[in-house]
Amino acid sequence: MREAIVEPIVVVGAGIAGLSLALAAAPAPVLLLSRSVGDGGKASGMAQGGIAAAIGAGDSPAAHAHDTLVAGAGHNDAARVHWLCAQAPAAIAWLASLGVAFDRAADGRLQLGREGGHGVARIVHAGGDASGARVMQALRERARAAAHVHWREGVDVEALLLRGQAARGVRVRAGDGSTCEIMARAVVLASGGIGALFARTSNPPGADGSGLALGIAAGAQLRDMEFVQFHPTALDLPGVHCLPLITEALRGAGARLCDEHGSPLMDGIDPRGDLAPRDVVSRAVWRAAQRGQRVLLDARKVAGDWHERFPTVLASCRQHGIDPREQPIPVTPAAHFHMGGLAVDADGNTSVPGLHAIGEVACNGVHGGNRLASNSLLEGVLCGRRLGTALAMRDGWPARGSSRWIERGTGLDEHRLRWLRQLLWNAAGPVRTRRDLADAWAACLQAGREGWQARLAGAIVQAALRRDRSLGAHWREDDTSASIPERMAVRA
């Protein structure tokens, strides 16, 4: 069945990046396509940390950029980092104008928290650790009310239409198996990350890289696929795939990581202690677990009303019989954010004409080798708005040449998917070795005939295998040039 639609900007994904684009593209028609239905299933809505912006006394966009570059191990695109940090205060103001009620002190000033890798407190929150949900609510309400924005939920985009060399449409499959072809003036992938391809993740199940796999099938260039960030503190629930996140803001508020005997975990590993960048902390937690030690986050000295400051963490812990105000929280690293993805320029253009990417599925170089905490929502808002404004003023790419459908292909069955998740977790987790990566690469090559997830996993593993030196979140245990303090911690 073919659906007659005036050619809109088709956006695959309805998270913060996609919604920001949709609003900025007015009055051009926008069609949002989402696999999930309603407010659930989107990583943006699960974000607890907030949004980083240099708006406090003594802070500056230059200092924010410095911390971003340090966290990214200098692998970032410096010009794009400085643009992002300079625009951050305006992004907060725009969201506030849409009705996001950011947390404020009694005098009306924004409350600012601190997270790992930041030299000062510069994290803006809304509803304590419910920031992502509050921002998503405001964006969805505005998009629902906008006459130029249309929605289709519960559909999977399974193929791209290329006319000549340009992307000019998509084919979607609904839950009942029916398909629909939609022509587009431009196709934007805003489909999120890849965390659900790992055995332990803080992402929702739908963050499996489906949009990234579609871009790969279309021949779009890739960048930095090996850089996967692992959040050091997800709630450790044995046998569970998608784990509740324990926000880094707790450590910014005074919580400390310790082993089961109460000894501080980060002592002697990094001078920044519990507020070291996420890759450093994640490796410390991972290694303790490999030694058979249980890692706990002791937040009993965190002051204030948990119902206001950390309602999401409190609810998640209590659901599993833990009161974080009275007892330490068991934690584990979990796949959290992909710094790599489809290579895009500053305006979100991929190497395929008419195909664009924003948010976690894209890689514009701003995060480098390791994303600084609370820069992801910021990137989604700013890059979404930038691309939306550009597309509103641009006609579609010339539709010349023959048309062909580019299929993502069939997926793995659930049994093989569980196998693949464990394979990636073991070989491409917080600590990697050449032998494990080589074995995983061979396994992905063989399984690539079975499903697109294995082909995508193979691209991640292959990139990690090629980079034989540790950088940012990509840690090669067989790199003898790696930092001495962390290696001493391994032998401890």
Active site residues: 278
CB 257 within 8 A of CB 285: yes
CB 340 within 8 A of CB 462: no
* Nearest C-alpha neighbor of 379 from the set 388, 367, 390: 367
d(CA 66, CA 372): 10
Q: 96: which 2 tokens?
A: 């506030």
Q: Could you please report the per-residue DSSP string of 293-335?
A: --EEEE-TT--S-HHHH-HHHHHHHHHTT--TTTSPEEEEEEE
Burial class (CB in 10 A: 0-12, 13-18, 19+), 433: middle
Three-state SS at 47:
coil
Four-point Cα dihedral 431, 270, 54, 367, nearest 10: -20
Whether 258 and 298 have beta carbons less than 8 Å apart is answered as yes
Which residue, 41, 60, 43, is CA-closest to 52?
60
Order of all β-strands in the sheet with 186-189: 149-153, 30-34, 9-12, 186-189, 355-357
The residue type of 339 is M
Backbone angles phi, psi at 369, to 5 degrees: -85, -5
Q: Radius of gyration (Cα) for the chain, nearest Å?
A: 22
Q: Are 91 and 378 in contact (CB under 8 A)?
A: yes
* Distance (Å, whole) CA 286 – CA 202: 15
d(CA 440, CA 430): 15
Pairing of strands 155-163, 123-124: unpaired
User: What DSSP letter does each residue of 157-175 carry, written as one string?
Assistant: EEEEEEETTEEEEEEEEET
